[in-house]
Amino acid sequence: MLSILDLRARISAGTLTPAGAIDLCREAIDARDGDIGAFVAIDPDPAIPEEGPLAGIAVGVKDIIDTAALPTQMGSVIYEGWRPRADAAVVSRLKERGAVPLAKTTTTAFASSDPTATRNPHDPGHTPGGSSAGSAAAVGAGLLPLALGTQTAGSVIRPASFCGCAAIKPSFRLIPTVGVKTYSWALDTVGLFAAGVGDLAYALAAVTGRDGIDEGAASAPRIAVVRQDFADAAEPAAEAALARACAAAERAGAHVSDRALPPELAAAWERHRLIQDFEAGQALGWEYRHHRDALPPQVRGHLDASGEITPAAYDDARRHAHRARRVLKDLFGEFDAILTYSAPGPAPVSLASTGDARFNRLWTLMGVPCVNVPVPGDRLPVGVQVIGRFGGDGQALAVARLIENALRG
């Protein structure tokens, strides 16, 4: 995979130019994307800044995120060829820091559930996940060093696990969602994909202006291992990856112990989809009213069902989520991080499904930072998920890097 840190080191040393770094990505795309299908548009002649902490870093932008230089088509025929007048706030910030938004990456329609044609870079018969399919596949295949995705249920962490790259869903609203197509305003979160946890930390620091975001964490973190029993059992490969990550964390000096989550969190998990679908029914109201027949079947079905959700049920679900956040805050008084599954197992053998987000929904609803750490060893990747307290993105990254380094030996 292409590493941000490696590319930046070579540029700083004078052995690679920013334009040369972009050319590396173009060459990789030409060589491999015909078998993967990660992109819907590529800028043939982008501006390439010479300065900035992200100079020379090509970025894939999920196709629900506005770009002035490239179309933003939402994965839907309804928006075919649509060109925004302005960049989304996160794209504008990336440009300010020297990055090159080189391509738009595939997304399921409106970042919902209907799969794209993108294929898993490790086996073309398997899904790359979704909804950020193209972003995860592009980074996992080594076509780009950085990509943007969004998560409403599990759309950053799960595809990163399936495609074998690192990813972060930051604390809610740490990265602005201005200029990003809304599915659920209480859940949608912009996230990052990169080759490794160190690359994520560097990119997140550059995007948010929080230099050294992962510095200063405890040298012997307290890690709670959570299996989310209310979400049903994981597959053997996911359980084995979690066991390897626990052993690696202990070798690195962490204090690791199993922990069952309080019932308030299970109650919130059960209500995630209710909040998501109620808000989607309003956020996509225009598309549903005027173009229902053009919507793919799964998103159309979600919007059909959203009309049956009452405001009272939605308000009750929000109260459960609020109580769960208070309980989780208290739990983080005992632990520095939570370690759990990123996905139920490896990518399913099907391009008709994006996989199951059941191990991601709770953490998205809680608004806390989540980091996927790839676990080496299997032909098809499986990751583990490091969860931090709200606003503790730096500590979550530091614990994730500790585990990643220990897994690499």
Q: With bands split at pLDDT 50, 70 and 90, how would you rate the model's confidence at 23? A: very high
| pLDDT over 80 (residue 214) | no
pLDDT at 218: 64
pLDDT at 406: 96
The ranges assigned to domains in the chain are: 4-208
Q: What separation, in Å, do the N-terminal and C-terminal C-alpha atoms of the chain show?
A: 18
The per-residue pLDDT for range 57-76, each reduced to its tens digit, is 999 999 999 999 999 999 99
| pLDDT over 70 (residue 216) | no
The per-residue pLDDT for range 298-348, each reduced to its tens digit, is 999 999 999 999 999 999 999 999 999 999 999 999 999 999 999 999 999
What mean pLDDT is reported for the chain?
Answer: 97
- Average pLDDT on 378-404 reads 96
CATH tag, 4-208 = 3.90.1300.10
Residue/partner pairs of 87-93 with CB below 8 Å, 24 or more apart: 87/179, 88/178, 88/179, 88/180, 89/176, 89/177, 89/178, 89/179, 90/65, 90/148, 90/175, 90/176, 90/179, 90/180, 90/190, 90/207, 91/61, 91/65, 91/66, 91/67, 91/148, 91/179, 93/207
pLDDT at 217: 63
Reference 166, options 189, 143, 147, 190; nearest CA is 147
- Average pLDDT on 133-149 reads 99
pTM confidence score = 0.98
Q: With bands split at pLDDT 50, 70 and 90, how would you rate the model's confidence at 160? A: very high
